Chains A and B, each alone.
Chain A
């Protein structure tokens, strides 16, 4: 039984981790075409937020609950600053933002190294999340269940915001057609800043959650970044639905490959599948029908 449940669960779990890392990217990349290579460092900032909160609060459970919104604020604030200082000036040059934000990422990593030291620091897992739950013969760690739940909450929240709030409506208008939205009186500049705040905030939340299973070190964010980009590319620009499906699919693929071959080959296999997939659907899983020609 656990031959099926194991990979299935791992796929869902890996998928939800990927999704948390990619959700924010999907927003910023989708709306503005901005490739933010410092997104991984925003995740890293989230992990250190969790660490600092725990140092101050002490109790691991309480600090995790405080750190989640706090991580959102820290990531979001960093995103706002980056948008205002750099990205805003590089519109119409999306490839240049990629390189410039890579530079920002390098600097943020070194800052983390100089403040917290190069070795990984420890964020204690709350008592309530230790150990596992037995599901159909496979022991499933509670931390991973928590991350899955968090991913679901994040997706629902983002969807609700986009669907039912005035801000969300403006964001969707700008994604659909920037010029037309501006003509309709929407300040695309403010919308961009808002989107960037939410997207980067989600990275911070992802960072807080990832301390439960991974390490907290200056290079933490890097390991998630490339995979997260692949999720966005495969899912289709600006499509939350696409990101969800792509993340779970990639997670499952990785888990299946890994079960039957090695973890290294699984990485390569996933890449091959994506290239082949883009042959079939160059715009990703879900194409956004827009009226813009770009």
Chain B
């Protein structure tokens, strides 16, 4: 089975099956509301794929993915607000929330976001560039392990506080009330379905890129750096560069997810980018299986779904469940759900090996 999955045919059929579920089955069985919710979950899954790469394969526990998620989201939200203002009041209009905050002049850094091309470019480039710079600063100095985890977490905290202080970015309330997505009205059910399709396609694309990275020589190097950084360095590679690439790719994925999250959910606020949401991104990855390709996706979807389903009935119990999930999965099942088949197989093997007499009897 696992051999089949690694073959080229297996890869293709895997993608075909995923596409069938995402593009065929899901829109058929889910109501418009549930499909929108699913699109939101898929955004989390896209972040998870990046974390799987950086953490699962690269050993970098990034507790600050909320930063890059937030960057992508805010960049997209700025464009949507600009487009909205332009549509209502002509070019150069100030977005509605600024009027309420008493800002009469459009801040200079907002102006370029009237252009959709600039916005998309910024979403792809800016968070990646920040990650590269930050990664170079940190990894070149061989800051790693727990140090890196805590720094990235503090970064998320600082980022959220910074955002809350920016009245020209909506402050604590964040940005909301988006009407148009690149010229399409967002509240039209047909367009909402289109948004879902774009999000689903982005997930497949991101998984394809991650798969490609894993199977390349680079992917092998990344795992080597995770397991024995010193040795890789002795072999003549610059381990820091290897890490920076994975960190930057994870940042890019998070940014894309954030950019899609905004039209799908309709709001981005500092509450979605701080320390706690950043750790929650990790939960799905840990549960699904950090080192696998599909594990983080499945884990993120499962956690998001469980949160919605359980918190409706038992809000207090959900907090317990969440805490227990962290403890139990990390302590007892470090490989996540994805390691269950392998575990079961090993279990089965030992059992059949130990009872040959029964089998023949």
Our pick among A95, A230, A268, A278 for the contact of B61 (Cβ within 8 Å) is A95
The reply on B282 being an interface residue by CB < 8 A is yes
- In the complex, which residues of chain A have a beta carbon less than 8 angstroms from the beta carbon of B153? 226, 229
A110 & B316 in contact (Cβ 8 Å cutoff): yes
- In the complex, which residues of chain B have a beta carbon less than 8 angstroms from the beta carbon of A165? none
- In the complex, which residues of chain A have a beta carbon less than 8 angstroms from the beta carbon of B150? 35, 226, 229-230, 233
Interface-facing stretch out of A60-68, A127-135, A200-208, A259-267 = A259-267
B316 & A104 in contact (Cβ 8 Å cutoff): no
Docked CA distance A226–B137 (Å): 21
A271 & B61 in contact (Cβ 8 Å cutoff): no
A110 & B282 in contact (Cβ 8 Å cutoff): no
Our pick among A94, A102, A279, A282 for the contact of B279 (Cβ within 8 Å) is A102
Interface string of A5-29 (1 = CB under 8 A from B): 0000000000000000000000001
A279 & B137 in contact (Cβ 8 Å cutoff): yes
Question: Shortest distance in angstroms between B323's beta carbon and chain A's nearest beta carbon?
Answer: 4
Interface residues of A in 83-117 (CB under 8 A from B): 86, 89-90, 93-96, 98-100, 102-107, 109-110, 113-114
A-B contact count (CB 8 A): 112
> With A33-B146, A99-B282 as given contacts, are A107 and B162 in contact (CB-CB < 8 Å)?
no
B141 & A279 in contact (Cβ 8 Å cutoff): yes
Our pick among A33, A95, A107, A230 for the contact of B323 (Cβ within 8 Å) is A107
B151 & A86 in contact (Cβ 8 Å cutoff): no
Q: Which residue of B lies closest to A281 (CB)?
A: B141
Docked CA distance A94–B330 (Å): 11
Docked CA distance A95–B145 (Å): 7
> With A113-B316, A233-B147, A233-B151 as given contacts, are A86 and B327 in contact (CB-CB < 8 Å)?
yes
Interface size band for A: 35 or more
> With A102-B279, A226-B275 as given contacts, are A29 and B331 in contact (CB-CB < 8 Å)?
no
B324 & A86 in contact (Cβ 8 Å cutoff): no
Question: Shortest distance in angstroms between A190's beta carbon and chain B's nearest beta carbon?
Answer: 22
Our pick among A99, A113, A264 for the contact of B326 (Cβ within 8 Å) is A99
Our pick among B151, B164, B320 for the contact of A107 (Cβ within 8 Å) is B320
Docked CA distance A18–B325 (Å): 31
The reply on A140 being an interface residue by CB < 8 A is no
- In the complex, which residues of chain B have a beta carbon less than 8 angstroms from the beta carbon of A100? 326-327, 330-331
Interface string of B127-170 (1 = CB under 8 A from A): 00000000001100111011101110111011001101100000
B145 & A106 in contact (Cβ 8 Å cutoff): no
- In the complex, which residues of chain A have a beta carbon less than 8 angstroms from the beta carbon of B279? 99, 102
From DSSP, what is the main secondary structure of chain B's interface residues?
Answer: helix
The reply on A275 being an interface residue by CB < 8 A is yes
The reply on B294 being an interface residue by CB < 8 A is no
A226 & B154 in contact (Cβ 8 Å cutoff): yes
Interface string of A216-253 (1 = CB under 8 A from B): 00000000001001100100000000000000000000
B154 & A94 in contact (Cβ 8 Å cutoff): no
From DSSP, what is the main secondary structure of chain A's interface residues?
Answer: helix
Our pick among A86, A229, A268, A275 for the contact of B331 (Cβ within 8 Å) is A86
Docked CA distance A94–B148 (Å): 12
- In the complex, which residues of chain B have a beta carbon less than 8 angstroms from the beta carbon of A29? 146
A103 & B142 in contact (Cβ 8 Å cutoff): no
The reply on B308 being an interface residue by CB < 8 A is no
Interface string of A251-294 (1 = CB under 8 A from B): 00000000000101101100110110011001000000000000
A96 & B334 in contact (Cβ 8 Å cutoff): yes
B146 & A98 in contact (Cβ 8 Å cutoff): yes
- In the complex, which residues of chain B have a beta carbon less than 8 angstroms from the beta carbon of A264? 161-162, 164-165
B275 & A89 in contact (Cβ 8 Å cutoff): no
Question: Shortest distance in angstroms between B288's beta carbon and chain A's nearest beta carbon?
Answer: 14
Question: Shortest distance in angstroms between B132's beta carbon and chain A's nearest beta carbon?
Answer: 15
> With A110-B320, A268-B161, A282-B142 as given contacts, are A95 and B137 in contact (CB-CB < 8 Å)?
no
Q: Which residue of B lies closest to A229 (CB)?
A: B150
B158 & A271 in contact (Cβ 8 Å cutoff): yes
Question: Shortest distance in angstroms between A262's beta carbon and chain B's nearest beta carbon?
Answer: 7
Q: Which residue of A lies closest to B59 (CB)?
A: A95
Question: Shortest distance in angstroms between B213's beta carbon and chain A's nearest beta carbon?
Answer: 21
Top 10 nearest A-B pairs (CB, nearest first) are A103-B326, A106-B323, A107-B323, A271-B158, A264-B165, A103-B327, A100-B330, A282-B141, A110-B319, A103-B323
* Sample of 22 A–B contacts (CB below 8 Å): A29-B146, A33-B146, A90-B330, A94-B145, A95-B61, A96-B330, A96-B331, A98-B146, A102-B279, A102-B326, A103-B330, A110-B316, A114-B316, A226-B150, A226-B153, A226-B275, A229-B154, A264-B161, A265-B165, A271-B157, A278-B143, A279-B141
Residues of B whose CB lies within 8 Å of any CB of A are 61, 137-138, 141-143, 145-147, 149-151, 153-155, 157-158, 161-162, 164-165, 275, 279, 282-283, 286, 316, 319-320, 322-327, 330-331, 334
Residues of A whose CB lies within 8 Å of any CB of B are 29, 33, 35, 86, 89-90, 93-96, 98-100, 102-107, 109-110, 113-114, 226, 229-230, 233, 262, 264-265, 267-268, 271-272, 274-275, 278-279, 282
Known contacts A89-B331, A264-B162, A272-B158, then 4 further A-B pairs from the complex at CB < 8 Å, ordered by chain A residue: A99-B286, A110-B319, A229-B154, A233-B151
